[in-house]
């Protein structure tokens, strides 16, 4: 039986901000502004602009699968394709930069971090994806010991992954326009990114698995990312490997 609190929460998220003018020019500037998280003082690693392989979308969907036997060794090019076509900017229209996934009201509340577990072409550590520059911002380099990942994740197989993509949400970007209903849109966005990652892995013959739980209800990971878990909170985890 569902927890009554979850039922109440879902009920309250039915509310929509009904004061949305139909004409875009009547919207407040905040609704028309796309926000990006940046770390201007930290070093960046430019990612290569790689042409992805040709792939049959229906065959890719058919092959899509969760894998829990992963190995390390992701290449620079593979990481670049995963980030750009998972959540990056893929084209520019007259008034906006269009990303690889649909977002409610084009509010784009999500941020991507990538934890590289073992350094190859990119050193191990924690990075933030700067999608405007298509670059990785190095939050901190770190050689992960055997127990480091076990302390953050319930399942031991995750430590064998080459990388773990952590998706966070800055809820206000969407909820300032759509109110409580915007919470649903944020989670829909996160699911769309995760499906992109699965399909890209399928096309590149990589393996991946979405992770449903971290230790201590995500608290350790949010501390690891240096986010407060309220204004910005973890909403998705995907382990990727060979």
Residue 187 confidence (pLDDT): 95
Tell me if 33 is assigned to some domain.
no
Q: Tokens for 160?
A: 């064998």
Counting beta carbons within 10 angstroms of the beta carbon of residue 182, is it exposed (0 to 12), middle (13 to 18) or buried (19 or more)? Answer: buried
Tell me if 177 is assigned to some domain.
yes
Residue 146 confidence (pLDDT): 74
Tell me if 19 is assigned to some domain.
no
Per-residue 3-state assignment (H helix, E strand, C coil) for the chain:
CCCHHHHHHHHHCCCCCCCCCCCHHHCCHHHHCCCCCCCCCCCEEECCCCCCCCCCHHHHHHHCCECCCCCCCCCHHHHHHHHHHHHCEEEECCCCEEECCCCHHHCCCEEEEEEECCCCCCCCEEEEEECCCCEEEEEEECCCCHHHHHHHECCHHHHHCCEEEEEEEECHHHHHHHHHHHHHHHHHHHHHHHHHHHHHHHHHCCEEEECCCECCCCHHHHHHHCCCCCCEEEEEEEEEEC
Residue 159 confidence (pLDDT): 84
Tell me if 219 is assigned to some domain.
yes
Q: Is 34 in contact with 109 (CB distance < 8 Å)?
A: no
Residue 217 confidence (pLDDT): 67
- As for how many domains the chain has, the answer is 1
Tell me if 128 is assigned to some domain.
yes
Tell me if 2 is assigned to some domain.
no
Q: Would you tell me how many other CB atoms lie within 10 Å of the CB of residue 50? A: 15
Q: Show the domain range for 154.
A: 44-241
Residue 216 confidence (pLDDT): 66
In order of 39, 90, 94, 99, the CA distances from 132 in angstroms are 12, 10, 16, 10
Residue 215 confidence (pLDDT): 63
Tell me if 14 is assigned to some domain.
no
Q: Is 198 in contact with 236 (CB distance < 8 Å)?
A: no
Give the domain CATH number at 92: 3.40.109.10
pTM: 0.92
Tell me if 99 is assigned to some domain.
yes
Per-residue pLDDT of the chain (242 residues; tens, 9 = 90+): 556 777 887 887 877 766 776 777 777 788 878 889 999 999 999 999 999 999 999 999 999 999 999 998 899 999 999 999 999 999 988 778 899 999 998 899 999 999 998 876 889 999 999 999 999 999 999 888 878 888 888 888 888 899 999 999 999 999 988 888 899 999 999 999 999 999 999 999 999 999 887 666 688 899 999 999 999 999 999 999 99
Q: Tokens for 220?
A: 């350790």
Q: What gap in Å lies between CA 83 and CA 90, rounded to an integer? A: 11
Distance of CA 55 to the CA centre of its chain: 23
């Amino acid at each position: 039986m569902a927890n009554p609190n979850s039922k109440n929460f879902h009920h309250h998220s039915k509310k929509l901000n009904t004061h949305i003018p139909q004409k875009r020019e009547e919207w407040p500037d905040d609704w028309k502004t796309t926000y990006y998280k940046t770390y201007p003082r930290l070093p960046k690693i430019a990612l290569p602009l790689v042409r992805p392989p040709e792939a049959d979308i229906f065959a890719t969907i058919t092959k899509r699968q969760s894998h829990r036997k992963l190995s390390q060794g992701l290449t620079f090019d593979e990481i670049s394709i995963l980030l750009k076509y998972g959540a990056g900017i893929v084209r520019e229209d007259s008034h906006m930069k269009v990303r690889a996934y649909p977002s409610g009201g084009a509010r784009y509340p999500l941020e991507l971090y990538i934890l590289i577990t073992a350094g190859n072409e990119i050193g191990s550590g924690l990075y933030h994806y700067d999608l405007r520059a298509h670059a990785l911002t190095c939050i901190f380099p770190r050689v992960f010991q055997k127990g480091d990942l076990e302390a953050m994740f319930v399942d031991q197989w995750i430590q064998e992954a080459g990388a773990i993509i952590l998706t966070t949400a800055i809820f206000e970007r969407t909820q300032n326009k759509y109110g409580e209903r915007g919470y649903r849109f944020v989670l829909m966005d996160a699911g769309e990114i995760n499906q992109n990652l699965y399909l890209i892995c399928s096309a590149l013959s990589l393996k991946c698995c979405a992770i449903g739980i971290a230790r201590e209800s995500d608290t350790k990971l949010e501390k690891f990312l240096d986010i407060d878990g309220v204004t910005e909170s973890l909403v998705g985890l995907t382990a990727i490997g060979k």
